[in-house]
């Protein structure tokens, strides 16, 4: 996909691919030379190599479910291209090819033009750069906890109830004066 087209979708909610194990919905944060950066609800930051993306769907009528507000000071690893992003992720726990049988997790140890080296448990795995479709490293935006939301809802209800009681009391006083 052409970078110019992808740039028009930055800061929008998109769905990468139509379905399958690699498909994700998220906010497109950045478009680089050969990859995009997507912020997903459940997995945090996911970097997709653009030549592996089959389709992108824009959130035309807010039908794609995405419930995260991105703070202005939100930080994530950036690079000019996919290899430089991987350099930024060196020695971090990553997940490669997020769906399907080729999923791999471990610490990114080495990056070169041909392959990356990932250490997982007692294995040293070399994975071809060409076959990496996406990588994530789990930086997430905190969602409000259900208890916090419930407390806020209760507070709003309580405030509304008090205002209604106050209004009823004022009406009673007005009616009493009118008699």
What number of other Cβ atoms are within 10 A of residue 97's Cβ?
A: 19
Residue 175 confidence (pLDDT): 60
- Kindly report, residue by residue over 56-94, the tens digit of the pLDDT: 888 666 666 677 777 777 889 999 999 999 999 999 999
Q: Which residues pair with 37 in a beta bridge?
A: 30, 47
Burial, 12: exposed, middle or buried (Cβ in 10 Å; 0-12, 13-18, 19+)?
Answer: middle
| 29 close to 76: Cβ distance less than 8 angstroms | yes
Q: What is the pLDDT of residue 47?
A: 95
Residue 32 burial (CB count, 10 A): 18
- Binned average pLDDT, 10 residues per bin, the chain of 179 residues: 87 87 88 93 90 84 69 85 96 89 92 95 94 84 56 50 57 58
The residue assigned the tokens 């040293």 is 124
């Amino acid at each position: 996909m052409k970078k110019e087209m992808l740039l028009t979708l930055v800061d929008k909610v998109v769905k990468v691919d139509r379905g399958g194990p690699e498909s994700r919905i998220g906010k497109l944060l950045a478009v680089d030379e050969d990859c995009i950066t997507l912020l997903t609800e459940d997995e945090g930051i996911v970097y997709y190599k653009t030549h592996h993306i089959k389709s992108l769907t824009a959130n035309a009528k807010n039908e794609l479910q995405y419930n995260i507000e991105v703070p202005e000071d939100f930080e994530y690893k950036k690079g000019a291209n996919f290899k430089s992003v991987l350099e930024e992720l060196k020695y971090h726990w990553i997940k490669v090819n997020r769906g399907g049988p080729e999923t791999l997790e471990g610490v990114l140890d080495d990056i070169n033009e041909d392959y990356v080296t990932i250490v997982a448990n007692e294995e040293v795995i070399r994975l071809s750069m060409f076959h990496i479709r996406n990588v994530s490293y789990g930086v997430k935006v905190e969602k409000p906890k259900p208890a916090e939301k419930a407390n806020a809802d209760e507070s709003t209800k309580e405030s509304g109830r008090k205002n209604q009681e106050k209004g009823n009391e004022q009406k009673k006083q007005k009616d009493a004066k009118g008699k």
